[in-house]
Amino acid sequence: MCQVKIILVEPAGERNIGSIARVMRNMALNRLTIVKPRCDHLSESARIMAVHGVEVLEKAEIVDSLPQALQGCKRSIATTSRQRDIHTVFETPRQAIPWLKAENITSALIFGPEDRGLSNQELSYAQRFICIPSNPEYPSLNLAQAVGVCAYELYQVSQESVIQEGSSVQDLANIEELEGYYQHLESLLLRVNYLYPHTAPKKMEKLRRIVNRANLTSQELAMIRGILRQVEWSIENNP
């Protein structure tokens, strides 16, 4: 059975969170994770907007960081409405969301704060990116509306019983494994002067995008980390 987390990063609107809980209940979603909320997600305003989705609010997971929210997830999609200085391939919800609905894995849909959206660093934790098409004269959607559009597409995929093809998703590297690899890679690239402290964040964002698109299995990632360890050994033993 597929489980999809709805992850809200630093939401500020209690009524928005309540509305999101309601539409999640409408679309048979029950896993809400909130990163550093800037409001009370259990307030009276949130409960009023949630209606029969109050249980979603009460069971919401509150965490301190996006990596913590993504623990256990094998696939993640981030939503954004802004063009980026790093080349990013945008898809519509209908194009990207079926990829989340694979058997026996936990996936995530990530939404940014109402006032700024997701930063480049936050986007680097996702493997694919959604931009919801809308009127170019007024393209900005309310947070709850954006979640509603994506939740609807998720529900439609569930009803259609879409079967994903390709590598067994049970074997895919999870977010924690990928983060360990990225930290290992950055450390080594700094050591060999491919990266410098002032350029490392930007270059690592680009490298993350490349690797994330590959959908590596745990075994493949372990092999690549083995290469990094061998390079480290060679540096230490062959000065």
Query: Rounded CA gap, 111 and 114, in Å?
Result: 9
Model confidence at 164, in pLDDT bands (50, 70, 90)?
Answer: very low
Query: What is the phi/psi pair of residue 142, to 5°?
Result: -60, 150
The one-letter amino acid code at 18 reads G
Q: What is the DSSP string of 211-236?
A: HHHT--BHHHHHHHHHHHHHHHHHHH
Question: What's the confidence (pLDDT) of residue 165?
Answer: 43
Phi, psi of 121 (to 5 degrees): -65, -40
Determine the residue type at 53.
G
Query: How much is the pLDDT for 84?
Result: 57
Closest by Cα among 68, 54, 67 to 19:
54
Chain centroid offset of residue 15 CA: 23
Q: What is the pLDDT of residue 214?
A: 82
Q: Phi-psi category of 69—alpha, beta or left, where left has phi over 0 and alpha has psi -120 to 50? A: alpha
Q: How far apart are CA 50 and CA 128, in angstroms?
A: 29
* Three-state secondary structure of 134-184: CCCCCCCCCHHHHHHHHHHHHHHHHHHCCCCCCCCHHHECCHHHHHHHHHH
Q: Do residues 131 and 115 make contact, with C-beta atoms less than 8 angstroms apart?
A: no
- Could you tell me if 187 and 225 are in contact, meaning their C-beta atoms sit under 8 angstroms apart? no
Summarised one tens digit per residue, pLDDT across range 146-159 is: 999 999 999 988 87
Q: Which residues pair with 3 in a beta bridge?
A: 106
pLDDT in tens, 31-77: 999 999 999 999 999 999 999 999 999 999 999 999 999 998 989 99
Q: Which residue has the higher pLDDT, 164 or 18?
A: 18
CA distance 45 to 35: 19
pLDDT tens sequence across 65-112: 999 999 989 899 999 876 655 667 789 999 999 888 766 788 999 999
User: Could you give the domains of the chain?
Assistant: 3-160 (3.40.1280.10), 173-237 (1.10.8.590)
Task: Say what the pLDDT of residue 160 is.
Answer: 67
CA dihedral 73, 79, 82, 83 (to 10 degrees): 50
pLDDT over threshold 60, residue 236: yes
Taking Cα atoms as reference points, which of 110, 92, 219, 91 lies closest to residue 167? 219
- Which DSSP helix (H) or strand (E) runs through 106? strand 106-111
